[in-house]
Structure 1
Amino acid sequence: MSRNAGDINFFRGYASLDLLPAQEIVQATTDLLSPKSRDYDTDPQNLHPLVYGSDEGAHWVRSAICHFSNEAFQLDAASSSKPEFLNLTSGASYGILNLLAQTTLPHTGFTRQAFIVSPTYFLINEAFIDAGFGGKICAVTETDQDAVDVAFLQEQLELFDQKHATEDHTADPALVNAPDATIPKKLFRYVLYLIPTYSNPSGKTYSIECRQRLIELARKHDMLIISDDVYDLLVYDQPLDKAPKPVPRMTFLDRASLSKGYNGYGNTISNCTFSKILAPGLRFGYQESVNKRLVAQLSRGGANASGGTPSQLNSMIVGTMLNNGVCLTVLEKLRTVYKRRADILYESIKQWLPAKTIYERQTGGYFSWCTLPDGYDAREISAILLNQQGIVVPDGSWFEVVGDSKNWGARCFRISISFVHDATIKEGIQKWGNVCREYATEHSLEF
């Protein structure tokens, strides 16, 4: 299946073109570049927008992000963001690659295992394989209580600890430290990847209790938790005329629960992007850790040291949009449009799909998870929709953790509201329902 095939596309994970803030980006770029000079053009922490930037990214942009984040999440002093806790990136996808390259060493067995919450973002597998985790990836499933299977994860961590207890990897970190390095890299024994708020693909949001339990496990077993925090500001079940109050990010919880004077690296990293709340073509994001130590390590990687922050110009365009309030205006528009689409999707599914279809109203983000009743084959129905109706709706097999399948393709689908319009949603779900009705008749199923 091509992500761009079909007349009605419930696959695409980016905003419909009419929602992209083109004029706002033009204005921000003009405001940024029109002056002959800026007061930070020669400041080594910032530099001119069109030259190589500092390794960690412009300080004023990081400050703007922190102000935006602290306001959005209503953070107190114990959990609030500071510029030195951030490293700027060219988006969440490249952020993951940098994270794995700079904090794990699976090739020698020093980093023992990667855990990925399943169902998962369908392209994350390749990033872990590129980083050397082929054959070292285990799926951790979600539960029905807005959590992941923490008990299973704990059991697996204890088993791996016992299995590798007698191994000596003291020399391994030397492989990834420059001979003249004054600060050795912090490498983790395990890594966990998840999207804890409005998850892709399930749409679930994990409870604070679940997040805290995961942090406790991570501290005990030297595990890094990588959270893709990319959808959490797209909140639909709160008043749209007020700024959203999302669930606290895991890094905020990790930071707030550390003892005073803590000088370690923490066990969480928030991997963020502006692709979902502004435009993916900007290719700009950031990483945040509990203090400056881990993100400083990320900013010192070879690529950053060579070229500086990977998105100098676009980071400053976004920083300008943060400072002039445009980001909040764009976010309010997206929340309004996406909430309407989510409501139309829910009503359409209840009207047109089989009566015992399992589907919950989408409360935020881009995606939701739909499970047909027993007897319906999601793979077959997905193929019929594409080939006969020109409708792209991916079955659950796309969202497996590589090498640890949970058979999500049997009955499940992921649905995206980001690219489809109101009328298209209604038309697409109605045609999907017609296909299901014909399928039920053909296979003697209840509809």
Structure 2
Amino acid sequence: MLASIRKPIDLLRGHPSTRLLATDLIRESAAKVLSSDLPQDSYAQVRHPLHYGPDLGNEDLRAEIGRWTAGRYGLKEAIPAERINITPGASYGLMNTLLLCTSPVTGYTKQAFMVSPTYFLAAGVFEDAGFSGKLTAIRLNKNTIDTESLVAHLERISATAPDVQLPSGLEPISRAGVSKRIYKFVMYCVPTYSNPTGETWDLETRRRVVEIARKWDMLVISDDVYDFLGNGGDTSAITPDERLMPRLVTLDHEIGEKQGMGDNEAGYTVSNCSFSKLLGPGIRCGWIESATGVLAKQMGEGGANHSGGAPSHFASTLIYPLITSRSIDSVISNLTKTYTVRCAAIITAIKTYFPKETTIYGGKGGFFLWIILPDHYDAREITKIAAKDVIVLNGDKSECPGDTLGWGDRCVRLAVSYCEADVAVEGVKKFAEAMKRWENGERSSRGVEVEMK
């Protein structure tokens, strides 16, 4: 097989291998759905796949997502359908949340925080939403974040930035008859099997972040897209009572209930989820869960959403049978078994071929490993030298724009999701060879352009 490897080997791409896509299940589901008795009322809460969808998405799908996810997280009760809205995937979920829940251009929303190193394409979504020049990095420290720094930034900005009143913040984004909850601050994070580090926040950190959010009127948008992709034997994302680590939105909801949060209160977190990491990215379908029904309803009332109905309505109707039958769980099981084998092979190769002082983060679940090279190595140069044979993501790409922490000096991200184990191991060898060539004095004349996805 190695003789036919396509060069360069791609350890950058955070995609599942084509063979892991749920092609057969989607084909079968499409045939089943489109040949069954279909709803005819285009105003009902469950609609024909080719009609406009309800603003929040088909109610039966949202209710089933609530039951399915509650089971996977070990919750005592199903998550109500009114707290869930269907999206075209996590990228659009992030965009719509920023568009509908913040007002940076007016100054009402004073700052956005990104846990750093961060998902390298998230910053562009924030910049499109008006946060250019308003992004601050919060350092990720293995299984926690620098909450002291976060609080210090909140205190400083609150004391120095002009305090724009709510009517002024709402003025350019208001519509008659539609109420909007907007926030003073916003934060983006990936708490479980983070992109890019593969690390998971501990429970104490999760609780502390929710406490901070509630105190400072900060909306926390957590990409919870890797939660179900833990490697075999991993306990970093498991609680002592052997449940999946609770999401921030769950903790926010629980705190709100204890404090008597009313139906008109919105909470301070949204869980941004996607079927892309499970069934295939082309499905472009996901969901957002909010702490109460307020933000889910607000998403559904967005102008484009109300005009066209729930985005990804057709795709969502094909996914529905996979959730009701729990066929999706077998897909997830196959993914985790595959990624567990790949992670083990890649980590073994790194320990074999890289300098012994190399530090490895992740490898416990999700799509990525985060590699820190020894002190004297130049990760930027080595990434360029290696690029004809193997492409990886240099740490520079995982910075928060305008507030860099130097990740590009020694760090690279390796994806475990795309290449088969033997190909990935060959890629690790090629990168190790590039390290040796760099040690022997080789330097790149210019960077190699690769598609960043």
TM-score interval for Structure 1 and Structure 2 normalised by the shorter chain: over 0.9
The answer to whether the aligner puts 1:271 opposite 2:269 as a matched pair is: no
Q: 1:285 to 1:435 in 2, by over 3 A?
A: same
Instruction: Give the distance between the partners of 2:431 and 2:47, measured in 1 at CA.
Output: 53
In 2, Cα distance between equivalents of 1:247 and 1:239: 12
- What code does the residue aligned with 1:335 have? T
Q: Is the 8 A contact 1:354 1:436 kept in 2?
A: no
* 1:176 aligns to 2:173 (yes or no): yes
Aligned to 1:152: 149
The CA distance in 1 between the partners of 2:372 and 2:90, in whole Å, is: 28
Q: Distance in 1 between matches of 2:232 and 2:21?
A: 23
Give the superposition deviation at 1:167: 4.7
The answer to whether 1:395 aligns with 2:390 is no
- Counterpart of 1:255 in structure 2 is 253
- Specify whether residues 378 and 148 from structure 1 end up closer, same or farther in structure 2 by C-alpha distance, changes over 3 A only: same
Percentage identity across paired residues of the two chains: 36
Question: Unaligned stretches of 5+ in structure 1?
Answer: none
* Distance change >3 Å, CA 166–CA 286, structure 1 → 2: closer
Give the Cα–Cα distance (whole angstroms) in 1 for the partners of residues 81 and 296 of structure 2. 11
CA distance in 2, matches of 1:220, 1:361: 31
Q: CA deviation at 1:326?
A: 1.4
Q: CA deviation at 1:442?
A: 3.7
| Equivalent in 90, 115, 118 of residue 116 of structure 2 | 118
Letter in 1 for 2:383: S
1:211 and 2:206 are equivalent in the alignment: yes
Amino acid at match of 2:226: Y
Question: Contact (CA 8 Å) 2:56, 2:84: kept in 1 or not?
Answer: yes
1:99 aligns with 2:109: no
Q: Is 1:226 matched up with 2:221? A: yes
Q: Distance between the aligned counterparts of 1:136 and 1:370, measured in 2?
A: 29
Listed one character per residue, the Cα deviations across residues 5-59 of structure 1 (whole Å, up to 9, x for unaligned) are 9431001111111111111110011111112x23575561111111101000000
1:320 maps to 321
Give the letter aligned to residue 352 of structure 2.
Q
| Matched-pair contact (CA < 8 Å) for 2:61–2:316 | yes
Partner of 1:365: 366
162-171 or 282-291, which deviates more:
162-171
Distance 1:185 1:132, change over 3 A: same
8 Å CA contact retained: 2:197, 2:362: no
Q: C-alpha distance in 1, partners of 2:363/2:163?
A: 48
Q: What displacement does 1:234 show?
A: 0.2
CA distance in 1 between counterparts of 2:254 and 2:165 reads 34
Counterpart of 1:174, as a letter, is E
Q: Is the 8 A contact 2:107 2:164 kept in 1?
A: no
Amino acid at match of 2:146: D
Distance in 2 (CA, whole Å) between partners of 1:184 and 1:61 is: 26
SS in structure 1 of the partner of residue 434 of structure 2:
helix
Residues of 2 paired with 1:372 and 1:407: CA distance? Answer: 13
SS at match of 1:424: helix
Aligned to 1:18: 19
Which runs of at least 4 in structure 1 moved beyond 2 Å after TM superposition? 37-43, 164-172, 237-240, 243-246, 437-443
TM (normalized to structure 1)?
Answer: 0.92
CA distance in 2, matches of 1:11, 1:246: 28
Is the 1:235–1:246 contact (alpha carbons within 8 Å) kept by the matching residues of 2? no
Task: Report if aligned partners of 1:117, 1:141 keep a CA contact under 8 Å in 2.
Answer: yes
3-state SS of 1:171 partner = helix
Letter in 2 for 1:99: T
Q: Residues 6 and 136 from structure 1, CA distance in 2 versus in 1: closer, same or farther, beyond 3 angstroms?
A: farther
CA gap of 1:298–1:361, structure 2 versus 1, over 3 A, is closer
Which residue pairs with 1:61 in the alignment?
61
Amino acid at match of 1:403: G
Following TM superposition, by how much is the alpha carbon of 1:139 offset from its aligned partner in structure 2, in angstroms? 0.6
Are the counterparts in 2 of residues 6 and 392 from structure 1 also a CA contact under 8 Å?
no
Deviation at 1:303, TM superposition (A): 0.6
Report matched runs for 1:40-59 at 5 Å.
42=42, 44-59=44-59
Q: Which residue identity does 1:93 align to in structure 2?
A: S
Deviation at 1:184, TM superposition (A): 2.1
Q: Give the secondary-structure state (helix, strand or coil) at the position aligned to 1:214.
A: helix
**Which residue pairs with 2:424 in the alignment?**
425
Secondary structure class of the residue paired with 1:105: coil
Query: Aligned residue for 2:309?
Result: 308
Q: Match for 1:431: what amino acid?
A: K
What is the aligned partner in structure 1 of residue 439 from structure 2? 440
Q: Secondary structure of the residue that 1:28 maps to in structure 2? A: helix
Residues 112, 136 of structure 2: 8 Å contact kept: yes
Q: Distance in 2 between matches of 1:172 and 1:405?
A: 29
